[in-house]
Amino acid sequence: MHDKLFKFKQIAGLVFFIAVLSTMGMITGRPVMMLVYAAFFLALSFVVYLTLKNNQRHFEVSQRSNKTFRKVLAGILMLLAVASPLFITLRTSVINLPESMSVGVVIPLMLGLSILFIALVLTTVVLINRKGTTLANRAIGYIVFVIASIIPGILMSRVDSTTMGIGSVYYVSMAVLILAYNAMGLYFSEE
């Protein structure tokens, strides 16, 4: 019974993950893009599943190929986490920047803020989950998390203080958070 519940949780988590990421298609302004995003993430998950299934037999783990594959996949996810806010800002109408901001200013600013946000969130994960044996580490971790969660709203309120603008930037931040957390999990996972 425990195995069936575990499998059900895995499948439900995958379906939820694909559903959440597929809603990113709404930011393009065309609802049909949700289906395209869902198909893309479903295909990506299927490829990952097949690759892991073919490289690992029951009770036999191929250490070298799995490590390499996980690290490459972690790198791809981290690049997506860093680049997705920039892509969304430049290619969609979700985040409306002032006309006075040139692309030469937006690109380094968005990349720097994305890296700062990811670094703060991953520091939080390390402090709370991995080094959280002391109260001081956990307290610092939660403080860093509060700071990281405030940054997108404060920055967006200077540009577009509407509910839609601030909500959109938090939605993008959530996608970045999911990608970065999964990249960290893949990179540091142990067999």
Residues 153 and 93 in one domain: yes
pLDDT in tens, 96-146: 777 777 778 778 888 888 899 999 999 998 888 877 678 888 888 889 989
Count of C-beta atoms within a 10 Å radius of residue 70: 19
Same domain, 39 and 95: no
pTM across the whole model: 0.66
Q: 63 in a domain, yes or no? A: no
Number of structural domains in the chain: 2
Q: Residue 161 belongs to what domain range?
A: 74-188
Tens digits of per-residue pLDDT, 26-36?
666 667 777 87
Scanning the structure block, which residue is given the tokens 């142990």? 190
Instruction: Give Cα 19 distance to the centre of its chain.
Output: 14
Same structural domain, 94 and 48: no
- Please, are residues 138 and 127 in contact by the beta-carbon 8 Å criterion? yes
Tokens of 189: 């996972």
